[in-house]
A and B are shown apart, each in its own frame.
Chain A
Amino acid sequence: MPTVFSRLLFVAGITLALALARAPEAWAHHSQSEFDFKMNVDVEGKVTVLEWKSPHARLYVDVVNAQGKTENWNFELPSPNTLMRRGWKRDSLKPGDHVTVNGARARNFPTIAYARSIKLADGSALFTGVTQIHEPEPAKPEPAKPQ
């Protein structure tokens, strides 16, 4: 029930921001262009499951939307192989963990995204690697058009 999560800052910001500079697409076992890396999302909620399967691990997070309804977000991660070589474990995130996830939204699905980073309640963070080599340009508001 949504009230269970009322202490959290649910959906404090689901920001869809346009990066002015062209953000290169991320690639994994395929082009990953089903995600729009200009559509930045930040959501806060509770982990329901970290699914440790190929070709992509997936993090599911219960998030309460602006209407007070709980949505289960599906965050794609790199493969378990890649994550393990980066120091992740299959229980790095546990059901109930309070997390803030930054990612890039799927073009056609509002609650599916590719995760860049996951911050935990104790302040620690896990990174998927998407931002470690090439930090995406910070999101900037679209400049006002001259009148």
Chain B
Amino acid sequence: MLTATPLLAPAQWLGYPTPGIPRTGDGAPDLKAATPRTPDGKPDLSGMWFANVPSKDACKGQDCIQEERMAREQINLGIKLKDGLPYTEWSKQQMVARRANHGREDPHTYCKPPNFPRAWTLPQYIRLVQTPGELVMLHEFNAAYREVYLDGRPLPENPNPTWNGYSTGHWDADTLVIETNGIRDDMWLDIQGSPVTESARVTERLKRLNFGVMQVEIAVNDPKAYTRPWSVTVEMAIQVDTQMLEEICLDDEQDVKLYK
């Protein structure tokens, strides 16, 4: 009797070599190669990125999360700050409410968009596409996008608040400085519910250290939510020889009903 065995092609382009990247003699990606540059000499931030995660040895106690390949900042964006994020009393009250019901009310649980700067820490890939006039961010979660204008336009005044706000960027030597305003008043920065509000001005400083690593400094000045401005740095790792994979959260969301 014959047993029918389906012949499946390799899953999409997982493992397909990314063309045009620096490689070592054995063909492996050369992660320590020099930062790529665009024809005008600027660092080229283009590529697929994923929040770098601590090694197994660094994953101890409550700093750790069990799920593999998750950034610690996904839980608490201020986890590396000695005293944590400087919450206002309003923020502390918000977070009590947000943590009720085991955190069920997290917008992410309900498949809402991957809002930046939180989106840097989520467990999906982000593709940056850099052109002279615009940096486009594509996020696997809900197939979302964000635009950062590099054409010199000013930030809008009193804009309609949105999930990602409005962003412009300029170069400070080899660092791309992104300024954002117009963020919605009810946004979360992490799973524990750290707020960011409409009063926020967020500054992200993107610096590609080499081919393989990019630092993203996230600075938040939000007097409604925090007693003083603060900043944290998240490290992103390049992802090559693979591809973006669509992840539409509402396709089969079943978790909300599990909370009581």
Partner of B140, one of A26, A28, A81: A81
Q: Known contacts A24-B66, A84-B11, A134-B65; is A30 also within 8 Å of B248 by CB?
A: no
**Please, how many angstroms separate the alpha-carbon atoms of A29 and B12 in the complex?**
23
Name the interface residues of A75-91: CB closer than 8 Å to any CB of B.
76, 78-82, 84-86, 89-91
Binds A, one of B21-29, B79-87, B105-113, B205-213: B105-113
Residues A34 and B65 in contact in the complex (CB < 8 Å), given A82-B123, A89-B11: no
B94-127 with Cβ < 8 A to chain A: 102-104, 106, 108-109, 111, 122-124
The contact of B67 among A22, A27, A54, A58, by CB within 8 Å, is A27
Measured between beta carbons, the chain B residues less than 8 angstroms from A82 are 69, 123
B75 to chain A: closest residue by CB: A27
Assembly CA distance A98 to B124 (angstroms):
32
Pick the contact of B251: A26, A54, A90 (CB < 8 A).
Answer: A54
**A29-B108 contact given A34-B258, A136-B66, CB 8 Å threshold:** yes
Is A69 in the interface zone, CB < 8 Å from B? no
Closest chain B CB from A23 CB (angstroms): 8
B108 adjacent to A129 (CB under 8 Å): no
A139 smallest CB distance to B (angstroms): 15
Q: How many A-B residue pairs have CB under 8 A?
A: 128
Partner of A106, one of B106, B249, B258: B258
One of A89, A91, A107, A136 near B260 (C-beta < 8 A): A107
Is the CB–CB distance between B258 and A134 below 8 Å?
no
1/0 contact string of B133-156 vs chain A (CB within 8 Å): 000000011000000000000000
Taking a contact as CB atoms under 8 Å apart, the answer to whether A31 and B67 are in contact is no
Given contacts A55-B249, A81-B247, contact A129 B106 (CB under 8 A): no
Chain B, interface SS category: loop
Q: Which B203-260 residues sit within 8 Å CB-CB of chain A?
A: 242, 245-249, 251-255, 258-260
Instruction: Tell me which residues across on chain B come within 8 A of A1, comparing CB atoms.
Output: none
On chain B, the number of residues with a Cβ less than 8 Å from chain A's Cβ atoms is 45
Residue A67 lies at the interface, judged by CB distance under 8 Å to chain B? no
What CA separation (Å) do A118 and B122 show in the bound complex? 26
The answer to the question of A10 belonging to the interface, with a C-beta cut-off of 8 Å to chain B, is no
Q: A53-B252, A55-B251, A89-B8 are in contact. Are A29 and B141 (CB under 8 A)?
A: yes
Task: Give a binary string over B4-30; 1 marks a CB under 8 Å from any A CB, 0 the rest.
Answer: 001010011010000000000000000
Which residues of chain A are near B191, meaning CB under 8 Å? 27, 30-31
- Residues 59-82 of chain B: 1 if any A CB is under 8 Å from the residue's CB, otherwise 0? 100101111111000110000000
Within 8 Å by CB of B258, from A28, A91, A108, lies A108
Residues of B within 8 A of A78 (CB): 67
B residues engaging A (CB < 8 A)?
Answer: 6, 8, 11-12, 14, 53, 56, 59, 62, 64-70, 74-75, 102-104, 106, 108-109, 111, 122-124, 140-141, 191, 242, 245-249, 251-255, 258-260
